[in-house]
Amino acid sequence: METDAYHDMSAVEAVHWWFVGRRRVLAAVLARLGLPPDAAILELGSGTGGNFALLRRFGRVTAVEMNATARALAATRGGEVTQYAGMLPDDLRLGDQRFDVVGLFDVLEHVSDDAGTLKRVRALLKPGGVALITVPAYRALFGPHDVFLHHQRRYEAAELRAKLTQAGLRVERLSFINAALLPVAWVLRGLDKALGRKQAIGVGLPSPLVNALLGWVFGAEAALVPYVSLPFGLSLLAVVRAQD
């Protein structure tokens, strides 16, 4: 991503419906994990720190981010978070540290070696530790929006489950999320392709009313996802632990 893109992300991720809704879902899932007090939490690919406040509610946060601009913006958010420069899967500079929680929130699709990254996640978990991973769903939806965001792929549920298992991770929950907005996304992505658009329809911050409504719709899934796996959605969320 270009430097300006990180500044744009930092400016909108506190209020944009997609970030707001995803944080609500992640918070609900984290609250159900029975984490130890003052859990050791690692966020890989932490960007400009939009998840730091959420994660600090559950423990001590360490973050790895490759981009210096993103790390500098994250440092302005306040709170005690230990940041490292690093790149997945191998250049993380964490030494022998292990964690109760490892999070990759829409990061895996950016990494060329996703299989190696998942193996690295397993190695970073303490005994009994848990990883939370979100990725964009459905290969058929890949289009200008993904190119704009520098995605290398989208995932089918069976494909993601297989890669998690092959990395030595036991899948406790694999659910789609952002389900209600999937039909809208299919239509918009179809228009992008039909019109040959290089800039995806719907990119950017919508009007305050629409933004609030979309955030409420996505965030409402926080009442469901910790308990049931949704059968479809724009993204996938996996809760995994190291296999015994």
Q: What is the pLDDT of residues 127-176, one digit of tens each?
A: 999 999 999 999 998 987 788 788 999 999 999 999 999 999 999 999 99
Measured CA to CA, the distance from residue 16 to residue 134 in angstroms comes to: 17
CA-only gyration radius of the chain, Å: 17
Q: Is the pLDDT of residue 238 over 70?
A: yes
Count of CA atoms in the C-beta half-sphere (13 A) of 243: 10
Per residue in 176-220, pLDDT (tens digit) is 999 998 988 888 776 766 666 655 545 578 899 999 999 999 999
In whole angstroms, give the CA distance from residue 109 to residue 59: 26
Span 8-43, pLDDT tens digits: 778 888 899 999 999 999 999 999 999 999 999 999
Q: What is the pLDDT of residue 2?
A: 57
pLDDT digits (tens, 9 = 90+) for 65-124: 999 999 999 999 877 899 999 999 999 999 999 999 999 999 999 999 999 999 999 999
pLDDT the model gives residue 149: 80
Q: Which of 137, 157, 143, 235 is nearest to 187 (CA)?
A: 143
- CA-nearest of 9, 3, 22 to 175 is 22
| 125 has a pLDDT exceeding 90 | yes
pTM of the predicted model, to two decimals? 0.92
Hey, what domains does the chain have and what are their CATH numbers?
3-139+154-179+208-242 (3.40.50.150)
Nearest to 201 by CA among 127, 160, 117, 143: 143
